[in-house]
Amino acid sequence: MTIKLGIIADDFTGATDIASFMATSGWRVVQLNGIPTGTVDLANADAVVISLKSRSCAAEQAVALSAHASRWLTTQGCERLYFKYCSTFDSTSAGNIGPVTDFLLAETRAPMAILCPALPINGRTVVHGHLFVNGRLLNESGMENHPLTPMKDANLLRVMEQQAQGTCGLVSLATLGEGKAAVVRRLAQLENEGKRYAVVDALTQDDLLTLADALPHNVLLTGGSGLAGALAARHPQPPQAEEFAPLSTGRTLILAGSCSLMTNQQVAHYRERAPSLALDVERCLNDADYQAELAAWVLTQSAEKAPMIYATRPAEEVKALQERFGVEAVGSAIEHLFAALAVELNGQGVNKFIVAGGETSSLIVQKLSVEGFAIGETITPGVPWVKDLHRPLWLALKSGNFGDEHFFTKAQEFYHA
Ligand code: ADP
């Protein structure tokens, strides 16, 4: 069997997000946390996703990391490459998406790259080449204030041309509305005009499916998880059933390290229904015995409903803690305590972790030495259960704003005897 897609994702939760969108069409997806040093069994994989941490680093470094990943994926026999970035086109002021795309164009000798960040199911749409988040222009959506990748312009053609070497054309919504043949013609026209990049409008899932049908084999694919999901939907595989579902035996622990609005709601909801403990943030910073105390608390709870430890607080409280201890110091202390606790408790029978927070998840996976995982059933769009490639360990890793208030309970409904 050939690996249909080899995906280079510029961050960790983005990698899980795209993996999950393909898995919903029955694709067997393996996600690797960085480039593996040893061999990995990819015999049954339809897609392989390598998660990098390249979104916010310098462009040169992002290119070097992506080069390494793309060569590894090609060596493994991936039929085509896909560069996954955020559906809000997050890029630094120097711009990483352009340079990485230029590198991959040269590497694969593709004549043109498709740029398709749209993810209509999550409110990310592109119209007249402009990116919208829940109906608001990208630069008026809150993303203009992002601390690392502020997006001040919603015109993707302009943003791309500022970052990259070549010029950019548009496949408009009107063309998509005319169907596959019109899109094929438009892409050929742009290529003849010497365009290196084609931004594709998309307002609905149907638009993504039309694009998936029309894509020539030789173009480079770049974008969000929507297009990859549409490609998988057009070539569905038999369902994986319960192959990677978590076992009901063993304990589960919920660790909430996100302070997003949605995680606050999820914590407030779950706290009323299961054993819960609010993390004492000050003790994270200065009490060496705190971890052992937390571990003992977890192990003395009934295993019936997963206990939850949460650092999650409303924004005003977080701000006060950050002012008192420093943003970096407090964030890092919490992340490291959660990761160390996960490692300790994994050694004591906790085989399932439900984690809220992108950075929090990334460090936990790293400290648990998870080289990669297989993607299981979707709990909520973009968040699947995943199973470690080498041992019976399951993870549900949610970036802050994903899911609804029932998420923690819902995740526990996927266990199998
Ligand atoms: P999200 O996906 O919502 O962005 P992350 O895990 O990526 O979540 O980031 C949340 C950051 O906030 C982490 O560094 C975490 O340690 C930190 N944090 C969590 N709780 C608190 C708190 N009560 N006070 C200050 N920082 C916190």
Q: Tell me the CATH number at 80.
A: 3.40.50.10840
Residue-wise pLDDT tens digits, 69-81: 999 999 999 999 9
Distance CA 213, CA 181 (A): 9
Give the CATH number for residue 362.
3.40.980.20
- Name which residue sits closest to atom 6 of ligand 1, judged by CA: 357
255 lies in the same domain as 228: no
**255's tokens:** 């660790």
How many domains in the chain?
2
Neighbours of 4 (CB within 10 A): 19
38 lies in the same domain as 94: yes
Distance CA 253, CA 341 (A): 10
Distance CA 7, CA 264 (A): 32
Residue 241 lies in a domain: no
370 near 328, Cβ under 8 Å? Answer: no
- Name which residue sits closest to atom 20 of ligand 1, judged by CA: 311
Q: Which residue has the higher pLDDT, 197 or 37?
A: 197
Element (H, E) at 29: strand 29-33
222 lies in the same domain as 274: no
Residue 145 lies in a domain: yes
Distance CA 277, CA 291 (A): 13
CA 216 to each of CA 55, 191, 221, 305: distance values in angstroms, whole numbers, following the listed order: 28, 11, 10, 50
Please return the burial class of 365, using the count of CB atoms within 10 Å of its CB with bins 0-12, 13-18 and 19+. buried
Spell out which residues line ligand 1, taking CB within 6 angstroms. Answer: 257-260, 281, 311, 313, 318, 321-322, 330-331, 334-335, 357-360, 399-400
Distance CA 171, CA 128 (A): 9
Distance CA 189, CA 214 (A): 14
Compute the average pLDDT of residues 339-364.
Answer: 95
Backbone angles phi, psi at 410, to 5 degrees: -60, -40
52 lies in the same domain as 121: yes
299 lies in the same domain as 228: no
Atom of ligand 1 nearest to the CA of 401: 3
377 lies in the same domain as 405: yes
29 lies in the same domain as 116: yes
Which pLDDT does position 241 carry in this prediction? 60
Domain range spanning residue 360?
251-414
Give the pLDDT band of residue 142 (cuts 50, 70, 90).
confident
Compute the average pLDDT of residues 261-266.
Answer: 92
Last residue of a domain, one of 200, 234, 268: 234
At which residue do the structure tokens 């994994």 appear?
346
Residue 137 lies in a domain: yes
